[in-house]
């Protein structure tokens, strides 16, 4: 297992958000996390990335414990993420946005940066080249000098993915990457996600409401409801699981299929 | 003197004044950019910079003299020391308050200002200290216009510092991080950027620039005292607001504009130089009323 959660519980002011979640992502896998609104999916992402501190449980990446680590350390250890709402640095160029992702891989300290030591120049060069490669990977090299805010929404989403890749992750968390995309862009997103795994060897965990995309791209699906993991398995297995249908549609006597 | 000689002289005076305002305004605007704090102690860092520069000059003048070479070295030492002081102030006084309501940290800044002023008052007894240098009064004339070497060196030094800053912010790893932190701190944390380190660098540079201005002002005007930071702090704030607070280019521009306006303002008939400050702060009020975002500032939805 690349990512492993054991008995993770999170609550805010007595409200249970995650309830003893056991969850894992295998290396080299494209996995989806689905569940109704308010099931705790984004909270689970926030727990993994160190933004929320769970009251109970253990989280590890490749055997290294992540609990009580700060978000920037978690990123350095190899987990990157994108957001439901695009959160680019709007007033910076597309390339600068991606370069911000490379920051955590720089070795030169702050002092070397201020004093402009020669090691710093080589570093800048490396950051520039790696960032350019990431931008090329998502197919947006032509837009590198534009301000992020001036890009079309679908392109902004890809820049966000390039920026996440620039942190050189082992695991990429995508929070509703297809939200607001048209069908052509969704198809391109599926291909991009597969290339991220195939060409870069990055495991992908995504939260998504678009079921056709989820069924298309995932090799493994985990279903969260009311803060608990109710089932997981292959897309076919999950699709036909009565517990999943119930979670999505509420308790109902009628026969319903996803 | 013909009218245009007077005009040119006013421009030169305005540039010198504007260079000081711009250097101090930069620290204001950078700190506001990264932690949205109006650092009212910033003017007092300028004062501290003047005193540290004075002390450093007396140490190094034996070797380097008390002309510009010695002053430069004293200035660099002062920038380093006051830069570190700025970082310590941020760590001790502001960092614990970053998640508190905005008003709390503003009051903390006023407290830091009082601490610095009163420390200087106690140490100097409130007397003016003569900032002795070997700077002459030489220069050259262009027609009826007189330019002193001191003015030229001063404006050039300020320009070099500002160009270096602009390059740092636009071209380097931590410069980009600084801009990114100003836009979205949480996102920066998630990208693995050490936000605390970026904030520390911002304070270091901002305070260092104030110290550079303080040392040069001391050397140029010849005397320093514990209260010298108060007025320039307010004026640099005015300059930052004119340029658009949070904008680095805006602070440079705002400083120059304010310096020039003050220089011209003192020559308006019936408004003598004693009305200078009234003139400056009237401009502040006008900008705040008419264009609160300043020349280069962006309007931002207030998120308290």
The string of pLDDT tens digits covering residues A37-81 is 888 999 999 999 998 999 999 999 999 999 888 888 899 999 999
Q: What is the pLDDT of residue A256?
A: 46
Phi/psi class of residue B272: alpha, beta or left (left: φ > 0; alpha: ψ in -120 to 50)?
beta
Strand, helix or coil at A178? coil
HSE, CB side, 13 Å, CA atoms: give it for residue A140.
Answer: 30
Helix (H) / strand (E) containing A229: strand A228-233
Q: Count contacts between A and B (CB, < 8 Å).
A: 83
Residue pair A194/A187 in contact by the 8 Å Cβ criterion:
no
Q: Which residues of B touch A106 (CB under 8 A)?
A: 173
Smallest CA-to-CA distance from B117 within B38, B208, B233 is with B233
**Residue A116 clears pLDDT 70, i.e. is over it:** no
Lowest mean pLDDT among A67-76, A151-160, B44-53: A67-76
- Residue B170 CA to residue B174 CA, distance in Å, equals 9
Question: A248 lies in a domain?
Answer: no
**Residue A257 clears pLDDT 70, i.e. is over it:** no
**Residue A253 clears pLDDT 90, i.e. is over it:** no
Across the interface, do A81 and B171 touch by the CB < 8 Å criterion? no
Question: A122 lies in a domain?
Answer: yes
Of B174, B189, B298, the CB nearest to A71: B189
- Residue B302 CA to residue A54 CA, distance in Å, equals 31
- Residue A119 CA to residue A111 CA, distance in Å, equals 12
Q: Which residues of B touch A92 (CB under 8 A)?
A: 176, 179-180, 183
Q: Each residue of B84-129: pLDDT tens digit?
A: 999 999 999 999 999 899 899 999 999 999 999 999 999 999 899 9
- Residue A243 CA to residue A251 CA, distance in Å, equals 9
The domain containing residue A141 runs over which residues?
Answer: 89-167
Question: A194 lies in a domain?
Answer: no
**Arithmetic mean of pLDDT over chain B:** 91
Strand, helix or coil at B89? helix
**Residue A258 clears pLDDT 60, i.e. is over it:** no
Question: How would you classify the pairing of strands B223-224 and A203-207?
Answer: unpaired
Residue pair A166/A131 in contact by the 8 Å Cβ criterion:
yes
Strand, helix or coil at B186? helix
Question: How would you classify the pairing of strands A64-65 and A56-61?
Answer: antiparallel
Does the pTM of the predicted model rise above 0.90?
no
Question: A145 lies in a domain?
Answer: yes
Phi/psi class of residue B142: alpha, beta or left (left: φ > 0; alpha: ψ in -120 to 50)?
beta
Taking each continuous run of H as one helix and of E as one strand, the counts in chain B are 11, 4
A62 lies within 8 A of chain B by CB: no
Q: Each residue of A138-150: pLDDT tens digit?
A: 999 999 999 999 9
Q: What is the pLDDT of residue A249?
A: 67
Across the interface, do A70 and B189 touch by the CB < 8 Å criterion? yes
Q: Each residue of B215-251: pLDDT tens digit?
A: 999 999 999 999 999 999 999 999 999 999 889 999 9
Report which DSSP code applies to B297. P
Residues with Cβ within 8 Å of B92's Cβ and at least 6 positions away in sequence, in order, are none
Q: Which residues of A touch B188 (CB under 8 A)?
A: 100
- Residue B201 CA to residue A58 CA, distance in Å, equals 35
Question: A155 lies in a domain?
Answer: yes
For chain B, the domains span 3-290
B6 to chain A nearest CA, in Å?
A: 42
C-alpha torsion angle, residues B235, B237, B240, B245 (rounded to 10): -170
Question: How would you classify the pairing of strands A220-225 and A30-34?
Answer: parallel
Query: What's the rounded mean pLDDT across residues A236-247?
Result: 84
Residue pair A3/A48 in contact by the 8 Å Cβ criterion:
yes
Q: What is the pLDDT of residue A121?
A: 81
Nearest CA in chain A to B165: A114
Q: Which residues of A touch B168 (CB under 8 A)?
A: 114
**Arithmetic mean of pLDDT over chain A:** 89
Q: Each residue of A171-194: pLDDT tens digit?
A: 999 999 999 899 999 999 999 999
**Residue A114 clears pLDDT 80, i.e. is over it:** no
* pLDDT-based confidence at residue B271 (cuts at 50, 70, 90): low
Whether the predicted interface score ipTM is above 0.95: no
Residue pair B54/B66 in contact by the 8 Å Cβ criterion:
no
Of A116, A127, A167, the CB nearest to B191: A167
Residue pair B231/B44 in contact by the 8 Å Cβ criterion:
no
Of B173, B198, B200, the CB nearest to A124: B173
Query: What's the rounded mean pLDDT across residues A19-26?
Result: 92
Number of domains in chain A: 1
Nearest CA in chain A to B208: A114
Q: Each residue of A126-136: pLDDT tens digit?
A: 999 999 999 99
Q: What is the pLDDT of residue B138?
A: 87
Residue pair A79/A61 in contact by the 8 Å Cβ criterion:
yes
- Residue A245 CA to residue A251 CA, distance in Å, equals 9
Written out in words, the top-level CATH class of the domain with range B3-290 is mainly alpha
Residue pair A225/A41 in contact by the 8 Å Cβ criterion:
no
Q: What is the pLDDT of residue A110?
A: 66
Question: A106 lies in a domain?
Answer: yes
**Residue A95 clears pLDDT 90, i.e. is over it:** yes
């Amino acid at each position: 297992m690349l990512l492993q959660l054991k008995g993770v519980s999170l609550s805010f002011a007595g409200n249970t958000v995650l309830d003893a979640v056991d969850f894992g992502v295998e290396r080299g896998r494209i996995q989806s996390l689905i569940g109704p609104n308010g099931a705790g999916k984004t909270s689970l992402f926030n727990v993994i990335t160190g933004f929320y501190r769970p009251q109970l449980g253990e989280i590890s990446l490749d055997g290294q414990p992540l609990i009580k680590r700060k978000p920037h350390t978690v990123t350095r250890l190899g987990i990157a993420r994108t957001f439901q709402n695009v959160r680019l640095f709007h007033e910076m160029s597309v390339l600068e946005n991606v370069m911000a992702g490379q920051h955590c891989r720089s070795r030169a300290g702050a002092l070397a940066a201020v004093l402009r030591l020669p090691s710093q120049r080589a570093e800048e060069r490396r950051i520039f080249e790696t960032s350019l490669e990431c931008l090329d990977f998502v197919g947006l090299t032509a837009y590198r000098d534009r301000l992020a805010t001036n890009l079309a929404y679908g392109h902004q989403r890809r820049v966000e993915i390039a920026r996440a890749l620039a942190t050189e992750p082992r695991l990429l968390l995508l929070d509703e990457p297809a939200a607001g995309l048209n069908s052509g862009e969704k198809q391109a997103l599926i291909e991009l996600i597969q290339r991220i795994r195939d060409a870069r060897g990055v495991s992908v965990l995504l939260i998504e409401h678009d079921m056709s995309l989820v069924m298309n791209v995932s090799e493994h699906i985990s279903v969260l409801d009311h803060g608990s993991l109710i089932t997981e398995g292959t897309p076919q297995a999950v699709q036909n699981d009565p517990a999943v249908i119930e979670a999505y549609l509420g308790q109902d006597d009628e026969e319903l299929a996803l | 003197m013909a009218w245009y000689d007077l005009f040119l002289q006013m421009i030169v005076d305005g540039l010198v004044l504007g260079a000081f305002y711009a250097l101090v305004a930069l620290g204001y605007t950078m700190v506001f950019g990264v932690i949205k704090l109006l650092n009212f102690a910033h003017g007092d860092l300028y004062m501290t910079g003047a005193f540290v520069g004075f002390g450093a000059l007396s140490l190094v003048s034996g070797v380097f003299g008390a002309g510009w070479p010695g002053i430069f070295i004293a200035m660099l030492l002062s920038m380093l020391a006051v830069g570190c002081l700025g970082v310590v102030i941020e760590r001790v006084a502001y960092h614990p308050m970053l998640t508190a309501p905005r008003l709390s940290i503003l009051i903390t800044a006023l407290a830091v200002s009082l601490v610095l002023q009163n420390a200087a008052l106690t140490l100097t007894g409130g007397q003016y200290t003569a900032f002795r240098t070997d700077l002459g009064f030489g220069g050259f004339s262009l027609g009826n216009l007189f330019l002193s070497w001191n003015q030229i060196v001063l404006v050039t030094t300020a320009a070099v510092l500002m160009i270096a800053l602009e390059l740092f912010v636009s071209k380097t790893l931590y410069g980009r991080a600084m801009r990114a932190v100003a836009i979205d701190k949480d996102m920066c944390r998630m990208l693995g950027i050490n936000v605390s380190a970026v904030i520390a660098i911002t304070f270091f540079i901002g305070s260092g620039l104030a110290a550079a201005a303080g040392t040069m002002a001391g050397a140029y005007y010849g005397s320093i005292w514990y209260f010298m930071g108060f007025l320039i702090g307010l004026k640099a704030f005015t300059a930052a607001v004119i340029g658009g607070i949070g904008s680095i280019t805006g602070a440079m521009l705002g400083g120059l504009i304010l310096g020039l306006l003050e220089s011209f303002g003192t020559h308006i008939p019936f408004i003598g130089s004693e009305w200078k400050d009234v003139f400056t702060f009237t401009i502040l009020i006008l900008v705040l009323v008419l264009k609160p975002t300043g020349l280069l500032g962006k309007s931002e939805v207030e998120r308290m």
